[in-house]
With several copies, the nearest count.
Chain A
Amino acid sequence: MFEKILIANRGEIAVRIIKTCKEMGIGTVAVYSDADSKSLHRMCADEAVHIGGTAPSESYLNADRIIGAAKKTGAGAIHPGYGFLAENADFARLCEDSGIVFIGPPPQVISDLGDKTVARRIMADGGVPVIPGADNSFSGPGELAKQADIIGYPLLVKASCGGGGKGMRVVRHKDELADSLASASSEAKAAFGNGTVYLERYIERPRHVEVQVLADRFGNTVHLFERECSIQRRHQKIVEETPSTALTQELREEMGKAAVQAAKAAGYVNAGTVEFLLDESGSFYFLEVNTRLQVEHPVTEMVTGIDIVRKQIEIAAGRRLELSQADIKPGGHAIECRIYAEDPANGFAPSPGRIACFRPPDGPGIRHDCGVYAGFTVPVEYDPILAKLVVHAENRQIAIERMKNALSGYVMAGVGTAVPFLRDVIDSKPFRKGETFTDFIDTHFPQWQPSIPDRDVAALAFIACEMWGEVSGAKGAETARPGIPTPWETLGHWRL
């Protein structure tokens, strides 16, 4: 086993990885940028190396400096977390070349799966369902019409060189095809200088369902069941859960098998996530493989009891996966809410700044993966994720009640969060019914505005601070004893 691991990341995920390393008796090296000298991940590690400026290119994306820090501290392996260099095949290769173990899949697997067309081909060849569509886009209108019959309706006309919705048409009936092809092609030509289009099955009201897999170097591959991640805002997941309300036990096993098949087809080693689109009929299609630890991995950990980071480290160290598929028996229901620094009263705009007051909820079945602390200034330069609130309970209904109550007890001031929004989402009828599709937010919360808490109580709380905060030096002193803060001395902090 490694004696020391460098964590090439920051924030909550770096802190979370450090925790598992400590449990395993492995030394931890944090790296940090100028903006992060007081960051939680830096303080939690056994050692910390300053690797450069605040800009990611000068620090967390700077492969050479990170490798340098690993060499300097004698770290035998690097855990990349998610984001930054986590899915960078060149970095994985550089680690290998430097004699440092990259905790993730082999570089070739990362680059294969990072290329969507290569990944699609690998999966199709491996018998994993992909979204039906023309793999050859250089066909004439006649050929496309034939393909359309094979794919079926509704289908999507897409510009080969397109993006941003330009040159894209949803075709619901056969007789609309010719017109759509013509208009899409002409729009594509105008926009990208290339009118080539191709066809793909259009998935209506899809769900985003992904499957966690673990694979060792010896060909043992298992899955840890699914995560339902359909609730997204601006293509960013905000609520995840497991099990998915959309899956029958049969479909669950089928998708699990498909994920294992996908991992095997790709020659996958370490922890990874196979993402699928699931349509309303119960058909599912390969979307992509995330070749790293996923933000939402805790929900899987809570229902299976398996520490995925520990497995990653063990696999990277060459250990054999001692788990068989039959050993993995998920229990109960888990939900995660991502706590981003964002201002729900201001269109969810990023909300960096200094955390003036912070008290996350705790209690049975509550996990809080967190990268910040009271007094920390959340930098403007990095991802807005501050923490993840995760709950586990006997069943989905109790998990919802637990999450709702936990969100009600989430105290953060100084930096905005979407906690009130998340609570409304969790507590909504469609969520309670499990009607979680990727259009959930647009459909059910298009114009959400935060409700103001009881103004009277807010005013009275303000007055309470003014009144009882002021006396800390005077009345408070009479009960003060050396070394022991009276409450009102403590209160004095935030009223200075």
Chain B
Amino acid sequence: MEYNLNVEGETVAVSVQEEDRDRFSARIGDREYSVEKIGLMDGLLILSVNGKQTGIGIGDPDGGRDVVINGCPCFVNDDSMQPRGRGGRRPAGKASNMVTPPMPAVVVRVMVNEGDTVSEGQPVAVVSAMKMETTLYAPFGGRVVSINAAEGDKVSPGDILVDIEKVGE
């Protein structure tokens, strides 16, 4: 079986051969791996990779998995498969062309109104998460088409708080 996985933003192509119920071999580039299922213990998946045993923590957010190795989490998803959740959890880069919070947050205030003209870099909203405030700025100059969030609303990355229509392009 062939996998095309995205590991923290980089593609890793894996060719997998199932050996028996508890074992598969894999090739990544010119590296060969033999992987054995040792067991599951206290929420950790214990694998042996080329004879070296590792306990791996696995979380399953939307659209992929958080794989924790040696205390470091790392996000893996399978681009070739159907998304099982609401799509990729993490934006590919900074979603710098939208007014959206970088983390789940609560809206502290919205500083513009519908119809306002805003310039690039103008603060348009402040959100708060865990007692830390973050200001969101207009990604470009334009006209505020709609305000989609009010003070006290819980918002998530991807939610567009203020819709801005580019002007003069």
Contacts and interface: CB of A to CB of B under 8 A. Distances in A.
Any A–B CB pair closer than 8 Å: yes
A46 B54 CA distance: 7
Nearest to A471: B21
A494 B130 contact: no
Contact of B47 (A359, A453, A461, A466): A461
A496 B58 CA distance: 12
A412 B3 contact: no
Contacts of A356: 59-61, 66
Given A47-B51, A456-B31, A482-B85, A461 B43 contact: no
B38 A482 contact: no
B160 interface: no
B76 interface: yes
B52 A47 contact: yes
A496 B103 contact: no
B37 A464 contact: yes
Interface in B29-57: 31, 33, 35, 37-49, 51-57
A483 B70 contact: no
A373 B46 CA distance: 13
Interface residues of B, number: 68
B20 to A, nearest CB: 11
Interface in A377-434: 380-384, 407-414, 416, 419-420, 423
A164 to B, nearest CB: 15
User: What is the size category of the interface that chain A forms with chain B?
Assistant: 35 or more
Contacts of A458: 7-8, 12, 67, 69, 74, 76
A413 B68 contact: yes
Contacts of A357: 43, 57-59, 66, 68
Interface in B104-126: 104-106
B43 A374 contact: yes
Interface in B51-107: 51-62, 65-74, 76, 78, 84-85, 102-106
B14 A419 contact: no
A461 B67 contact: yes
A375 B73 contact: no
Given A357-B58, A455-B12, A488-B40, A349 B71 contact: no
B57 A453 contact: no
A44 B41 CA distance: 10
B167 interface: no
A383 B131 contact: yes
B134 interface: yes
Given A43-B55, A352-B103, A464-B47, A487 B14 contact: no
